[in-house]
Each structure stands twice: as structure tokens, then as C-alpha cells.
Structure 1
Amino acid sequence: MTGDTHPTQPLPDPAAQWVLSSSEPAAPQKRRRRGLGWVVAAVIVVVLAVAAWFVAEAVARNIVIDTVRQRIIAELALPKDQQIDVALEGAVLPQLIGGALTSIRISSDDVRQGDFSADVVVEARDVPIRGDGEMRDAHAVVTLDESQLRGLLSAVEDFPVETVGIAAPDITASIELSLFGAKVPVGLSLTPSAEEGELVLTPTSIQVAGSDITADELRRQFGIVSNAVLRDWPVCIAEYLPRGLTLADVAVEGDRLRAGFDVDDRLLLDDALLADGTCA
């Protein structure tokens, strides 16, 4: 074989091949860019929608919290600057659409009622926002420190309020009894309990001259005078609360008295349940 019969062909120009191969997919690439633009636009719309939802949710939550706070201040005649914390469970907008709040927790410290103040927490579920239905699992907890407890007990006739202390699991107090013209201080440990919706303080231990004695021993020493000590002390709290709240349990926890209340589920339906209670 010679070069005459098989002439050598020139090699393709690499630059030309590159230009050829790169020019053909130009149209599909534009289509990909156009498709990507729709995706970006859709993402932007979704982001804006989510942002709008969160803005609306925040506004709705703030409105509900402020409304609840203002209603409580008005109903209880509290100072306008009373700190009231309102916690709502879950997203608020769907609850407003549904007509009821899934769960609400309201708390405030130093809530003044009459001659005393207390720290209060109220919790309830399925609370109708228009007051046209019953709540569920509603309850309240009221706690009092030593100073607040003295304010409450100041309304109890003959109770030695100035000597009141808290020493778990009891409340302590001291009463002076007269024996042959001498004043004898008698220390008391009083156990709190809830009886028919009323707070009752019952003497469970007695101390004279720093020593524990029994009720019978005190009667032998002081006779009928000991009746001033050996008695239950009922404390009416109904006059400070709506009729729809009933004292369910009470105990001393640490340095505070804790009282739990059942809240009538129909509280928002019956105006009579919102009226103040009375003491027998």
C-alpha cells in the first residue's frame, strides 16, 4: 500500500467540534432555566405565605392574651398594671376558627382580694371563646406565704394572727391562757384541711413551756379556759371567690399554704356562678 492509493485525511478541527457540540443543547438549557424560574417563584410564594401565617398567628395570639388580661382586671377590679401571664397551647388561629381554646393557663402573683393577697394559677381546657359552652378540666391553685396567710386569717375572730407561722406540714400559732392570774403561752400546730368547701385549721399538737402535752392534759391544767385552744378554726374563703369555685384540697408545702379549687365547667354559662360566694 502506498500513500497515493490511501490519501491521508485531515483531522477534524477540535475547536470546530467543540463549537458544534456546544451549540445544539442551547434550546434545552433555556427550557431548564425557565423551569427553574417557576420553582424559585413557587418557593418565594410559599415562604411569603408561611411568613404571613406567622404574622397573623402572632397578632391573633397577642389579641387573645390582651383580651383575657383586660377581662380579668375588669372582673376582679385589679390595678391596671397588674402582671398577668397568659399561656396558650398550640396555634391560636385554628382554635379561633373552631370556637374554643384548646388549653389556657393564667397566672398572677399578689392578686389582692379584700384584706389579703395570694398567688393564683388557673388552668382549663376547651374554653369557648364566645362563652357559649362548657369548659373542661378547669381548676385553680391559690398559694399564700406567711405574710399573705396572716392577711387571710385576720378576718377570723379571736385568732392570734400576729403569731402565725408556716412550718410544713402545719401552720403554727401561739395563744396566751390565764392560770391564776398568770399568762401562759400555749403553742399550737394546726393542720389545714378542706371541709365542705371551707378551710379548717385543726390543732394536732400542743406545747406548753416548750414541752408537748396532750389535749386531756391541757384540759386538766386549764379547765374550761382550754376551750380557747382546743377547737377547730374555720376560715371562710367563699366570700372572696366566685360561687363556681369550690375548695377541694389544701396543704402546707414548704413555706407556703397551697389550696386547690375545682372550677365549675359551666362557669361561663351561668352568671350566678360568677357572683361572689357567701359565708355561713
Structure 2
Amino acid sequence: MEWTRVRDWLIGALGMLVVLVVAVAVLWWVASGPAGADGGAGSGPPSQAEPPAGPPAGLGEDEVWIADVELDAGTVVAADSTLRDVRALGQGVVTGPGGLVADRLTVGATVPFDAVAAELGGGTVVRPAGDGQVTVVRTVEALGRDLPVTATGTVDVEDGRLVMEPRSIDVGGPGFLSDGIAAVVRRFVTIEHRIEGLPEGLVLRDVAVQGDGFRASLTGEDVALAP
């Protein structure tokens, strides 16, 4: 009899536990949404204006209007540029005999550090330095000697280019000697990168340093996506 009571108690407790788990699962399902439905950071294209209300007046019979088109790509290689984690949004896209044109195109993409380092050459290494800065490390030939140079600076947008003008340059040795040599080697550790291969009309608006490269934001209007 004693074992029968224990068995019945265990069965009842197990049943209550199952009911409790099911109830919690149902409440969680109702209270939450699918993963990514909230448009969390990095899940979609860059921020953009409200989509156009409707197709333009005079849309031809052989033309098609699309309110918005999104593109996500892990890697895009165009011309001499390599881009990672590309997210693009085209708004007010018209396709027809004249090609494929977007009223507005917004693109977010990462320029890998290695791609920028390769432009500088000389075994250059480019890496994040904290506080939104970047460090360039390379060997430079100056005054007949090979000098290890470490330069650090912030990244800005100038004339549509990604630019890092060094704020500090270290070549080792006494301070007065470093200052003199720094002026000579500055141009070898200055980054001036233009993102190539993207549709005409896209302009670099902002850039930030992140762990794997430079995160670039580009926008443009009346951008031809395809001829």
C-alpha cells in the first residue's frame, strides 16, 4: 500500500510538472515574436527614410515599379574592392527598357582591414585601436634604414574616401628623433581608401571602426542598379 501511494504521488507530481512546462511554453510563445522580428542590430539594412507612398506618375506600360528591394550578402567583390556583410535597401525601384534605377539606395558594408593594408603594402597590418581609432603597423625605408612604424588615428570621410590621418607616429628612439622621422614617414601610414565597383551615385557618408574592419554607410539618389 505504501508503495502504491508513493507511485500515485510521483505520477501526479510528474503530471503537474508537464502541465507547468506546457503553460510556460505557451505564455512565452504568445508574449514573444520570432527571432529577428524586432529588427535588432545588424539584422537588416541600414536605417532609411519612409518608403515611397506609390508608383511615380507616368509609369510606362513596359516598366515595373517596386516599393523597396532588400539585399543581404556575406561577401561582394567588385573591381578592386572586397566588401563583407553587405546590407542594401533600394527604394522606389523602376525597371524597364532604361535599366534598373532606384530613387534612393542605402548600403551598409564592411571594408576588411586586410584590404586596406594591402593598398599600403610593405607587410602592413591594420587593426582597431579602441575609442574609434585604428592603428597601422608597417616597416618603412627612410634615411637609408628600415624603420618599424606604428601610427594611430581616427577615421573620417573626406571627399567620398575613407581617410585615417595619423595623430601619433612612433618609430622608437628619442622623442626629438621620432618627431623628425614621423614627418618623413607620415604618408606611408596614412590611409586614403575609396570604395570601388559600386553603382554610380553612391556616396560614402559615414565610417566607423569595428573588430573586423571599417563599417561604411553609403547613400545615393537616382542610382542606376543595372543598365
TM-score range, shorter chain: 0.5 to 0.7
The aligned residue for residue 241 of structure 1 is: 198
Retained in 1: the 8 A contact 2:142–2:184?
A: no
**Distance between the aligned counterparts of 2:160 and 2:97, measured in 1?**
26
Give 1 or 2 for the bigger CA radius of gyration. Answer: 1
The one-character-per-residue Cα deviations of 1:62-89 (angstroms, maximum 9, x if unpaired) are xxxxxxxxxxxxxxxxxxxxxxx99xxx
**Distance between the aligned counterparts of 1:161 and 1:115, measured in 2?**
19
Retained in 1: the 8 A contact 2:77–2:83?
A: yes
The one-character-per-residue Cα deviations of 1:192-217 (angstroms, maximum 9, x if unpaired) are 221111121211233455x9x9xxx5
Q: CA RMSD in A?
A: 3.8
1:129 to 83, 95, 107: 95
Tell me the SS of whatever aligns to 1:150: helix
> Which structure has more helix as a fraction of its residues?
1
What are structure 2's unaligned runs of at least 5 residues?
A: 1-43, 46-53, 56-60
**Distance between the aligned counterparts of 1:165 and 1:193, measured in 2?**
16
**Distance between the aligned counterparts of 2:101 and 2:143, measured in 1?**
62
* Cα distance change of structure 1 residues 101 and 118 upon mapping to structure 2, 3 Å threshold: same
Identity of aligned residues (%): 23
CA displacement at 1:105 relative to structure 2: 0.9
**Distance between the aligned counterparts of 2:143 and 2:102, measured in 1?**
60
**Distance between the aligned counterparts of 2:65 and 2:124, measured in 1?**
47
CA displacement at 1:177 relative to structure 2: 5.6
**Distance between the aligned counterparts of 2:212 and 2:129, measured in 1?**
6
Tell me the SS of whatever aligns to 1:135: strand
* Cα distance change of structure 1 residues 183 and 206 upon mapping to structure 2, 3 Å threshold: same
Equivalent runs, 1:1-280 vs 2, <5 Å: 99-119=64-84, 120-130=86-96, 135-144=102-111, 148-156=112-120, 159-168=121-130, 169-176=132-139, 184-209=147-172, 217=175, 220-222=176-178, 225-231=181-187, 232-238=190-196, 240-267=197-224
CA displacement at 1:268 relative to structure 2: 5.1
What is the TM-score with the length of structure 2 in the denominator? Answer: 0.56
The aligned residue for residue 30 of structure 2 is: none
* Cα distance change of structure 1 residues 223 and 189 upon mapping to structure 2, 3 Å threshold: closer
* Cα distance change of structure 1 residues 102 and 165 upon mapping to structure 2, 3 Å threshold: same
When the two structures are aligned, how many residues end up with a matched partner?
Answer: 165
Which is bigger in relative contact order (C-alpha 8 A, separation at least 6)? 2
What is the TM-score with the length of structure 1 in the denominator? Answer: 0.47
Give the counterpart letter for 1:139 in structure 2.
Answer: T
**Distance between the aligned counterparts of 1:257 and 1:185, measured in 2?**
24
Retained in 2: the 8 A contact 1:200–1:234?
A: yes
Tell me the SS of whatever aligns to 2:162: strand
> Which structure has more strand as a fraction of its residues?
2
CA displacement at 1:247 relative to structure 2: 1.4
CA displacement at 1:130 relative to structure 2: 2.5
Retained in 2: the 8 A contact 1:115–1:152?
A: no
Tell me the SS of whatever aligns to 1:154: helix
Retained in 2: the 8 A contact 1:150–1:161?
A: no
Retained in 1: the 8 A contact 2:105–2:202?
A: no
Give the counterpart letter for 1:263 in structure 2.
Answer: G
* Cα distance change of structure 1 residues 186 and 262 upon mapping to structure 2, 3 Å threshold: same
Give the counterpart letter for 1:233 in structure 2.
Answer: I
* Cα distance change of structure 1 residues 177 and 128 upon mapping to structure 2, 3 Å threshold: closer
**Distance between the aligned counterparts of 2:145 and 2:108, measured in 1?**
43
* Cα distance change of structure 1 residues 115 and 137 upon mapping to structure 2, 3 Å threshold: closer
Q: Which runs of 4+ in 1 moved over 6 A?
A: 178-182
What are structure 1's unaligned runs of at least 5 residues?
A: 1-84, 87-93, 272-280
